[in-house]
Amino acid sequence: MKSEAKSKKYDVVIVGSGVAGSLVAHSLVQRGISCLMLEAGARLDRGQLLDRFQNAAVKDTMAPYPSLKHAPHPIPSRPDDYLIQKGPDRYDSQYIRAVGGTTWHWAAAAWRLLPNDFRLKSTYGVGRDWGLAYDTLEPYYGKAEGTLGVSGDKNEDLGSPRSHPYPMGPIPLSYMDSTFSRELNRVGYKVVTEPVARNSQPFDGRPQCCGNNNCMPICPIGAQYSGDVHARKAEGAGTKLVPNAVADFIEVDALGKVSRVRYRDPSGTAQWAVGRYFVLAANGIETPKLLLLSRSVRTPKGVANSSDQVGRNLMDHPGTAMTFLVPKPLYPGRGPQEMTSIVNLRDGAFRKEFSAKKIHLSNQVDTNGITKELLAKNLYGKALDQKIKQLSLRRLRLDAFHEILPDPENRIVPSESLSDGLGIPRPEIHYRIGDYVRKSAQDTRSHFAKIAAAMGGEEAQFLDDFAPNSHLMGTTIMGTIGKDSVVNTDCQTHDHSNLFIASSAVFASAACVNPTLTIAALSLRLADHLHRKLKSKVSVGA
């Protein structure tokens, strides 16, 4: 099968079509830069995904999304079918391999990092610094908010200075969230409305949120941003997008530059994508896996890996939770699934000793869990129905994201014995949650108890086992020195001048908030950098 990608040399070849890859492609192609975007998974249709979810026997967060033989991904109902767990702690994070990537299902939380998150080592003596300052990224945070469509409250200070307002005002809080904010702010907590990439009014051709309360696993109407928005825009503007194209090898020439990327279709047939510049945007597990698989005489440890840091420093946000009953019904489940967060535990001198955290109130109703719990108590019939209603109206849940430090021993490597349907090695995970997080989780438990008391809560249940939050970070870590990092502050690999990485894999610190807005800001900044490089080559006749 002859492919356009086989015969044409593109200005930029991008591996991955999630929010990072699609933003890079769309930004560049609008300025006359030819782009090829390779996506391991298939194109998805929202209506078909909704049908798939409705008909699924197990309605977990991955139920709408098929795991393909040629491009498998982790799913909760079969946790060991793809990721291979080798560490003392499990890394059960989920991601989607499809056009648009994992933002098909997310809470749409669009947080900026704090200035101190970029300078953790120099401020608190732990972790690492990015080498990139908040002020450098701030204009791109604003650009990312405008590009994705972020709703936020202009009157709330979230600790991240801003030069531009949110493109939209906040989605009105539910009765439960309003009550929670009022009661907790009275006792010294700072509860704010989460900034979200979810429309509070019609925006960019997408409708206003109507409160389906199904943000995860899928927004039924597309009011919430997902990466397929800019995948479609990039393609419409001229990007060549090839779905079902699984990249499995990067070739480096004698000058140390990447010359082409090999990819396979579902039958295993190999083709090559040729370009001047290359951007890896395949997430924090698939990107380092690809780099490490690309071993050759010129790259014996894998591409971009002279530092031996590719695949290392794997991070997420280990989560703990609490449920409790409030005295009067607060009616959770109205509106988006997540609306308010406590933010005054995100920074402070305590970070010298234990991790920062963000605590948020869940606006979901665990009807299934409540029903199973009551059935186990031999409750049936009308009594069961009444008790489900009573508990559903009064049970609240708090979740905490904990910052984890980059640790070279936390890593992903390609398996030497287990492979996927194309014969490509599966990711093997080595992961341990250390004392920095565990000490913070103990502190979190005390805050949970205080919060429940402030709400007049009873029957508190602490969920202390660390839960994954699918924030894949750190595995191609950023730094100013090539011997201990993979990319520089321009997201350019230290080893190969024409290879860049657009992903939360470059994060040098995890902080304690969702990474997507920072991914988008870094991607837009990278697109500007690539445009300048390509424009300068054209201007000198290169």
For the beta carbon of residue 388, count every other beta carbon within 10 angstroms.
17
Catalytic status, residue 471 = yes
**What pLDDT was estimated at residue 539?**
45
**What pLDDT was estimated at residue 538?**
55
Dihedral sign for Cα 76, 80, 81, 84, please: positive
Rounded Cα–Cα distance for residues 384 and 436 (Å)? 43
**AA identity, residue 324:** F
Q: Considering the candidates 70, 360, 430, 471, report the single residue annotated as catalytic.
A: 471
Rounded Cα–Cα distance for residues 128 and 490 (Å)? 17
- Block means of pLDDT (10 residues each) for the chain, length 542 residues? 62 98 98 98 97 92 95 92 96 97 96 98 98 98 98 97 97 97 97 98 97 94 98 98 98 98 98 98 98 98 98 98 97 95 98 98 93 94 94 97 98 98 98 98 98 97 96 98 97 98 98 98 98 76 40
Rounded Cα–Cα distance for residues 225 and 3 (Å)? 31
Contact between 481 and 515 (Cβ < 8 Å): no
Contact between 29 and 237 (Cβ < 8 Å): yes
Q: What is the pTM of this model?
A: 0.96
Provide the CA 4 distance to its chain's centre, in angstroms: 31
Sequence spans of domains, the chain: 1-54+62-106+226-304+413-432+492-503
Rounded Cα–Cα distance for residues 476 and 474 (Å)? 6
The CATH code of domain 1-54+62-106+226-304+413-432+492-503 reads: 3.50.50.60
In order, the DSSP letters of 409-433 are: TSEEEEEEEEE-TTSPEEEEEE---
**What pLDDT was estimated at residue 215?**
94
**What pLDDT was estimated at residue 496?**
98
**What pLDDT was estimated at residue 537?**
67
Q: Which residues on neighbouring strands pair with residue 35, listed in sequence order?
A: 12
Q: Tell me the CB-side half-sphere exposure of residue 197, using CA atoms within 13 A.
A: 33
Within 88-228, strands assigned E span 191-193
What backbone torsions phi and psi does residue 41 show, to the nearest 5 degrees? -95, -170
Give 183's contacts (C-beta < 8 A, 6+ positions apart): 454, 455
